[in-house]
């Protein structure tokens, strides 16, 4: 079984001070750097997703005449209206400055189509288009993924559910995740949903010790 580390959306806009700040989002960067170091020692690939929206993205509340944090519909799909975030080439879309970028082998961008949101690192929310991630991993014989990042209740959750559906053995480093939590229990519910679909919830220490 060959394993890769998948880091989800470790970007400035999801950290304190950012446009779509997740509480304690910056605290997962140190976890990511330790997980990267483990992979470098073992020769395991490290990949990262990057939320990468055009300014005119219709998931942005202001572009759809909606209130941020409320629920609507976009392109026939349920849609949470978000503040403007992770706009291509803007500082908010950049990776957190403390992230060990030189330990990352490949970055997969998502969310470029203004008409559909894209939480998962594999597919858009309607599963109409696919990133290069699955073919990149399959091309290297990867069958197992270790996932962490931001945000637990959106991009981490949908990436993990897609990874499981695509047949990857999937573990989630729980202390490497933080959630948006529009509702208080959203992150807890997301962890439970991932686990119910077959994900293994693990601690960084367990990963470091070789599980």
Contacting ligand VGL within 39-58 (CB under 6 A): 51
Position 13 contacts Zn ion (CB under 5 A)? no
Residue number with CB closer to ligand VGL (18 or 207): 18
Interaction of residue 5 with ligand VGL, rule CB under 6 A: no
Contact pattern from residue 26 through residue 65 relative to Zn ion, giving x for each residue in contact according to CB under 5 A and a dash for the rest: -------------------------x--------------
List 154, 168, 191, 207, residue binding ligand VGL (CB under 6 A): 154
Q: Counting contacts by CB under 6 A, is residue 95 touching ligand VGL?
A: no
What whole-number distance in Å separates Cα of residue 104 and Cα of residue 176? 16
Judged by CB, which is closer to ligand VGL: 152, or 171?
Answer: 152
**What amino acid positions are annotated as catalytic residues?**
9, 110, 155
Residue 155, interface with ligand VGL (CB under 6 A)? yes
Quick one: 9 or 124, whose CB is closer to ligand VGL? 9
Residues that bind ligand VGL (CB under 6 A): 9, 14, 51, 82, 119, 150-151, 154-155
């Amino acid at each position: 079984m060959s394993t890769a580390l998948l880091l989800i959306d470790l970007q400035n806009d999801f950290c304190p001070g950012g446009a779509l700040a997740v509480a304690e989002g910056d605290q997962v960067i140190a976890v990511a750097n330790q997980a990267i170091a483990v992979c470098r020692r073992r020769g395991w690939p490290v990949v990262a997703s990057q939320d990468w929206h055009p300014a005119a993205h219709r998931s942005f509340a202001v572009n759809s005449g909606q209130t941020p944090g409320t629920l609507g519909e976009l392109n026939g799909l349920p849609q949470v209206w978000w503040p403007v975030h992770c706009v291509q080439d803007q500082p908010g879309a950049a990776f957190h400055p403390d992230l060990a970028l030189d330990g990352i082998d490949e970055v997969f961008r998502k969310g470029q189509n203004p008409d559909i949101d894209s939480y998962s690192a594999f597919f858009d929310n309607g599963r109409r288009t696919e990133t290069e991630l699955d073919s990149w991993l399959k091309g290297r014989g990867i069958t197992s993924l270790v996932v962490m990042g931001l945000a637990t209740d959106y991009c981490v959750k949908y990436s993990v559910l897609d990874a499981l559906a695509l047949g990857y053995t999937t573990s989630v480093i729980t202390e490497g995740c933080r959630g948006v939590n529009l509702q208080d229990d959203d992150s807890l519910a997301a962890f439970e949903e991932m686990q119910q679909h077959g994900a293994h919830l693990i601690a960084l220490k367990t990963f470091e010790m070789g599980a």
